[in-house]
Amino acid sequence: MFEVLPQLSPDPILGLSAAFKQDTNPNKIDLGVGVYKDEQGNTPILSAVAKAQQVLLERETSKTYITPQGVQGFIDGMLSLILGDKSPVMLADRVAAVQAPGGCGSLRILAELLTRVNKDTKVWVSDPTWANHIPLIGNAGLAIETYPYFDKASASIRFDAMLDALKKVEKGDVVLLHGCCHNPTGADLTHEQWQAVMEVAKEREFLPFVDIAYQGFGDGIEEDAYGVRLLCENLPEVIIAASCSKNFGLYRERVGLAAIVTADTKTKSIAQAQIQNVARGIYSMPPSYGGALVDIILSDVALKQEWQSEVNEMRNRMRTLRSLLVDKLSEYGAQKDFSFVNQQKGMFSFLCISPEQVQKMRSEHSVYFVDSSRVNIAGISLSNVDDMAKAMVSVINS
Ligand SMILES: Cc1ncc(COP(=O)(O)O)c(C=O)c1O
C-alpha cells in the first residue's frame, strides 16, 4: 500500500554527511551537522554526565514507568536554569511543564497544544529559521508565516523590518523566537531589541514561543536566558521549548522541557493536564534516562559546577575558533570583511557566501557545509582552520 506515497528526496544535511563520508581527501572538513565537536573532532560525553551516570547506576532500582510529567527534579532544575532561581512566575505558581523527548519533542507537543486552543493559530517564524521548525510545527496542523530576520548582504539582523512585521501580527497569533544562539544565523537580539519585541508582544497580544536549545553557548548560562526571562516577567503568557542535547551533550538520550507560563495558577493546572494529555496521545510518557542525569547534575553543587565549567569551556572554544577564523581570513587576504563572525553567537554562523561558492568549497576543497552558508563553528579546529581559511579565500577572491 505504501507505493502510493511519493519518493522523498534525501534530507540535505544527511546527504551532506554521506558525501563527506565518501570523500577520500584526508584533509576534508565537516562543518555540516549541528553537534558540538572537540579539537579531535569528537562529541564526547561530558565528565559531569559520566559521573551522573555512575550515580544513576547505583541509585536506580526499577525500570517501571516514570510519571507522565517526567522527573520532577529535572523539571524544577531546568525551570530555574531557564527562568532564574527567583523567577516571579515560578514564585507565583504560574508555570506548567513536562519533560519531553528532546527539544523537538517539546516543540511538537507545544504545537499540538496550540491546535487545541485554536486550530487556525498562525505561527510566525524568523526568515530564516531552523529547517525542522517547519515540520515540527506545521505537521501539527498550524499555519506558518515568516517575519524578516537576517540580511545576508549586510550580515546583520533586519530589526526594523522584523519589528514592523511583528506590529502586524494579530492577537492570539504565536511568534517563535530563538532564546539564544539563533540557528542558522548565529545572530542574536540585543537587550534593547528584546525589550522592543516584548513591548510589541504586549501591545499586539501575541504569544511568544521561545525555543532555547543552546543555553550557555552564547554569552553564558545566565546571560543567554536574558530574552526568555524578560518575556516571562513582563507578559501574561509565554511558551518555551528547551533542549538538553547541546549544553548537556545528551543528544541521543532525547531530553528537553516544554513549559507554559500562564496568566494565573488556575490556568496553569489546566495547561499542565492538557500538555500531559497531548503527550499521552503521542508517546505516552517521556524516556527517563536523560532527565534523571540532568536532575542529578543540577541538584548536586559540585556536579553542577563541573557541568557549568564544561559549558564554559565549550563556549570559549567556539569563541576562540571564531576569532581565529576571522584573523586567518584577513591574514590570507580575503576580499570580504568577515569580522561579523565574531559577533555571532553559539555553534552556528552564516558565512554569507553564495550557494555556488559553498559548492566550490565542497567540490574543490572538501569543506562541507549547507548551501545557506551555515557552518558549525565547532567543526573547525586548530589543525584545520588554516586549510579552511585558505579554501575560503581562494573561493571568494576568484
Ligand atoms: C533551534 C533548535 N531548536 C531545537 C533543537 C532540538 O534539538 P533536540 O531535539 O535534539 O533536543 C535544535 C537542534 O538542533 C535546534 O537547533
Q: What is the pLDDT of residues 175-231, one digit of tens each?
A: 999 999 999 999 999 999 999 999 999 999 999 999 999 999 999 999 999 999 999
Reply yes or no on whether the pLDDT at 145 is more than 90: yes
User: What is the mean predicted confidence (pLDDT) over 130-135?
Assistant: 96
Fold of 9-44+314-397: Aspartate Aminotransferase, domain 1 (3.90.1150)
Q: Report the alpha-carbon distance of residue 48 to residue 26 in Å, rounded.
A: 33
Q: Which CATH architecture has domain 49-299?
A: 3-Layer(aba) Sandwich (3.40)
- What cell was used for 47? 565528565
pLDDT of residue 367: 97
Residues with CB under 6 A from ligand 1: 34, 102-104, 130, 178, 183, 211, 213, 243, 245, 251, 256
Tell me the best of 130, 136, 210, 253 to mutate to test the pocket of ligand 1, counting ligand atoms within 8 Å of each CB and taking the most: 130
Q: Report the alpha-carbon distance of residue 147 to residue 166 in Å, rounded.
A: 7
pLDDT of residue 312: 98
Q: Residues of the chain with pLDDT > 90: what percent?
A: 96
Closest to 210 measured CA to CA, from 257, 166, 170, 255: 257
Give the tens place of pLDDT for each residue, 266-280.
999 999 999 999 999
Reply yes or no on whether the pLDDT at 378 is more than 90: yes
> Are 224 and 207 contacting, i.e. CB atoms less than 8 angstroms apart?
no
pLDDT of residue 255: 98
Closest to 30 measured CA to CA, from 328, 378, 327: 378
> Are 12 and 371 contacting, i.e. CB atoms less than 8 angstroms apart?
yes
Q: b/e map of 173-206 (b: 16 or more CB within 10 Å)?
A: bbbbbbbbbbbbbbbbbeeeebebbbebbeebeb
Res. 261 pLDDT band, cuts 50 70 90: very high
Strand, coil or helix: 291: helix
The length of the chain, given as a count of residues:
398
Closest to 384 measured CA to CA, from 396, 372, 368, 370: 368
Res. 9 pLDDT band, cuts 50 70 90: confident
Strand, coil or helix: 384: coil
User: What is the mean predicted confidence (pLDDT) over 149-159?
Assistant: 96
pLDDT of residue 10: 78
Q: In whole numbers, what is the pLDDT of the chain averaged over residues?
A: 96
Q: How many CA atoms lie within 13 A of 394 on its CB side?
A: 13
7 alpha carbon – ligand 1 mean position (Å): 26
Phi-psi region of 155 (alpha: psi -120 to 50; beta: other; left: phi over 0): left
**DSSP code for 126:** E
**Which atom of ligand 1 is the closest one to the Cα of 178?**
1
- Residue whose Cα lies nearest atom 16 of ligand 1: it is 183
Q: Report the alpha-carbon distance of residue 106 to residue 99 in Å, rounded.
A: 8
Give the tens place of pLDDT for each residue, 286-328.
999 999 999 999 999 999 999 999 999 999 999 999 999 999 9
Reply yes or no on whether the pLDDT at 13 is more than 90: no
220 alpha carbon – ligand 1 mean position (Å): 18
Q: Distances from the Cα of 16 to the Cαs of 51, 103, 184, 185, in angstroms?
A: 34, 23, 16, 19
Domain boundaries, the chain: 9-44+314-397, 49-299
Q: Report the alpha-carbon distance of residue 55 to residue 49 in Å, rounded.
A: 10
Choosing from 30, 37, 130, 345, the catalytic residue is: 130
Reply yes or no on whether the pLDDT at 162 is more than 90: yes
Strand, coil or helix: 257: strand
Q: Report the alpha-carbon distance of residue 325 to residue 344 in Å, rounded.
A: 13
Reply yes or no on whether the pLDDT at 15 is more than 90: no
Helices (H), the chain: 12-22, 47-59, 72-83, 88-91, 102-117, 133-138, 159-166, 191-204, 226-234, 265-280, 289-298, 301-331, 340-343, 355-365, 385-397
Reply yes or no on whether the pLDDT at 11 is more than 90: no
Res. 12 pLDDT band, cuts 50 70 90: confident
103 alpha carbon – ligand 1 mean position (Å): 5
